Amino acid sequence: MTSPTLTIDTPAGPVRATAGPREADAVVFELGGAMRGSVHVTGTTDPHHWDQFTAIRACLGPVNSFKTTAPAEDLPRLARSRTGYRGSLTLYRYADRPAESVYPMSSATDHPPSERTASVLTAVLRGCAEYVERSADLPAILEDSRQRDTPGLLRFLTWSASYHQAEAARLEREARTAVPALKSAEAAWRTAAHWLAFSPHPVLLLMLADRPGSLTQEIRGLRWRAPYCADAATEEHERARRAQAEADSLRAQQRRRPRGRRPALVSTP
């Protein structure tokens, strides 16, 4: 079967991207024309829903840059340049509209590309990703990507749920201790004010003044701290709940995953 080739218009001129055979969870495009090298396209999670493998990620180089680093000599470069570049682009949907995010691009020596070069790299990544997004093999690529990434995601989400629950408990403790601390500080302020009325003294003035370390500033901070910690604890509980829900969803998908599929060539859209 002839490998499908697409032509991508870029500020540096046309780039030809030829899709190789699907490698289970990815397609690798060999580049020609205004660029040399390759682009690795695979499935990934929606940036806002880590249990939903509905997005496409294109990486500069022959490998998944989120799993391994390609040698400098294997990084894509403009046809008349010796500088290779790293980076990636993710296609997904947000509020039922197409969206994309670009991972910061840099050269093999960690220098950012020029604006023109960045436009070329982005156009090539977008073109390859959109091609795979329209291909008949997309469901298989997304499923294989889910199986590839699920174990690591489950470890992270389990840790995340535990971490956010611990943070919520810490913040709730701080909110509780702030209430009696505020009452004590207010009582001390009233006592100092009473003493000052009968016997003016510089120390009492410093205690009541609006300055760092004074009772006035302590009271202001404690009045703010209790509701802040309570609200932050609620947010941490929600983060923990979401992480746990996404982990449960991934485990459910693992139990019902299809079997027996074989890799195939990316078909022409």
What is the maximal distance between C-alpha atoms in the chain?
Answer: 99
Strand, helix or coil at 131?
A: helix
**pLDDT on residue 264:** 44
Distance (Å, whole) CA 137 – CA 116: 33
- Which residue is associated with the tokens 């990703």? 129
Task: Output the pLDDT for position 70.
Answer: 87
Which tokens sit at 232?
């932050």
Other CB atoms within 10 A of residue 246 CB = 21
**What pLDDT, on a 0 to 100 scale, did the predictor assign at position 252?**
94
Residue 16 CB neighbours (<10 A): 15
Please state, as a whole number, how many other Cβ atoms lie within 10 Å of the Cβ of residue 211.
Answer: 11
C-alpha–C-alpha distance, residues 161 and 242, integer Å = 8
E strand intervals along the chain: 5-8, 15-19, 26-33, 35-44, 55-60, 77-78, 85-94, 97-107
- At residue 262, the pLDDT reads 42
Give yes or no for a contact between 174 and 180, defined as CB atoms under 8 angstroms apart. Answer: no
By three-state DSSP, how is residue 183 classified?
A: helix
In tens digits, the chain (269 residues) has pLDDT values of 457 899 999 999 999 999 998 888 999 999 999 999 999 999 999 999 999 999 999 999 999 988 888 888 999 999 989 999 999 999 999 988 999 999 989 999 999 999 999 999 999 999 999 999 999 999 999 999 999 999 999 999 999 999 999 999 999 998 998 888 877 877 766 676 666 666 776 665 555 565 676 667 677 777 778 888 999 999 999 999 999 999 999 999 988 865 544 444 444 44
What tokens were used for 52?
């939903």
pLDDT value at residue 119: 96
Backbone angles phi, psi at 59, to 5 degrees: -115, 140
pLDDT at residue 268, as a whole number: 41
Distances (CA, A) of 114 to 118, 119, 251: 6, 9, 43
